[in-house]
Amino acid sequence: MEWEYVTEQGDTWDVLAADIYGSEKLVGLLQEANPDYLGILYFPAGVILTIPDTPKQASSALDSPWKRNA
Protein backbone atom coordinates (compact mmCIF):
# COMPACT_ATOMS: atom_id res chain seq x y z
CA MET A 1 0.00 0.00 0.00
CA GLU A 2 1.22 3.48 -0.80
CA TRP A 3 0.39 6.86 0.61
CA GLU A 4 1.32 10.45 -0.18
CA TYR A 5 3.43 13.05 1.56
CA VAL A 6 3.37 16.77 0.82
CA THR A 7 6.85 18.23 1.19
CA GLU A 8 7.79 21.12 3.39
CA GLN A 9 10.36 23.70 2.32
CA GLY A 10 13.84 22.24 2.79
CA ASP A 11 12.91 18.54 2.98
CA THR A 12 15.65 16.25 1.64
CA TRP A 13 15.56 12.64 0.46
CA ASP A 14 17.70 11.31 3.30
CA VAL A 15 15.85 13.12 6.06
CA LEU A 16 12.50 12.00 4.65
CA ALA A 17 13.68 8.38 4.52
CA ALA A 18 14.91 8.58 8.11
CA ASP A 19 11.65 10.16 9.29
CA ILE A 20 9.37 7.79 7.36
CA TYR A 21 11.26 4.50 7.50
CA GLY A 22 13.59 5.02 10.43
CA SER A 23 16.71 4.86 8.26
CA GLU A 24 18.22 7.01 5.56
CA LYS A 25 19.48 3.75 4.01
CA LEU A 26 16.00 3.26 2.51
CA VAL A 27 16.16 6.49 0.51
CA GLY A 28 16.15 4.39 -2.67
CA LEU A 29 12.55 3.32 -1.99
CA LEU A 30 11.45 6.93 -2.04
CA GLN A 31 13.50 7.79 -5.11
CA GLU A 32 12.27 4.76 -7.10
CA ALA A 33 8.66 5.73 -6.36
CA ASN A 34 9.26 9.37 -7.36
CA PRO A 35 11.61 9.40 -10.37
CA ASP A 36 10.37 12.79 -11.62
CA TYR A 37 11.99 14.47 -8.62
CA LEU A 38 15.45 12.86 -8.62
CA GLY A 39 17.10 16.15 -9.57
CA ILE A 40 15.85 17.88 -6.43
CA LEU A 41 18.25 18.21 -3.51
CA TYR A 42 16.13 20.48 -1.29
CA PHE A 43 12.40 20.23 -1.89
CA PRO A 44 10.17 23.27 -2.09
CA ALA A 45 6.91 23.18 -0.14
CA GLY A 46 3.96 21.46 -1.77
CA VAL A 47 5.52 18.63 -3.80
CA ILE A 48 3.39 15.49 -3.52
CA LEU A 49 5.57 12.38 -3.13
CA THR A 50 4.43 8.78 -3.29
CA ILE A 51 5.51 6.87 -0.17
CA PRO A 52 5.71 3.10 -0.66
CA ASP A 53 5.50 0.64 2.19
CA THR A 54 8.76 -0.88 3.38
CA PRO A 55 9.36 -4.40 2.10
CA LYS A 56 9.69 -6.89 4.95
CA GLN A 57 13.13 -7.95 3.69
CA ALA A 58 14.42 -4.39 3.83
CA SER A 59 13.17 -3.75 7.34
CA SER A 60 14.60 -7.01 8.69
CA ALA A 61 17.95 -6.31 7.01
CA LEU A 62 18.16 -3.11 9.03
CA ASP A 63 17.58 -4.87 12.33
CA SER A 64 20.51 -5.28 14.67
CA PRO A 65 22.37 -8.55 14.13
CA TRP A 66 21.14 -9.99 17.42
CA LYS A 67 17.51 -9.37 16.35
CA ARG A 68 17.82 -11.01 12.91
CA ASN A 69 18.30 -14.53 14.26
CA ALA A 70 15.80 -14.23 17.11
**Nearest CA among 56, 3, 50, 4 for reference residue 30:** 50
pLDDT tens for 10-51 read 999 999 999 999 999 999 999 999 999 999 999 999 999 999
Rounded CA separation 57/41 (Å):
28
pTM here is: 0.75
17 class by beta-carbon count within 10 Å (0-12 exposed, 13-18 middle, 19+ buried): buried
Q: How far apart, in whole angstroms, are the C-alpha atoms of residue 54 and residue 46?
A: 23
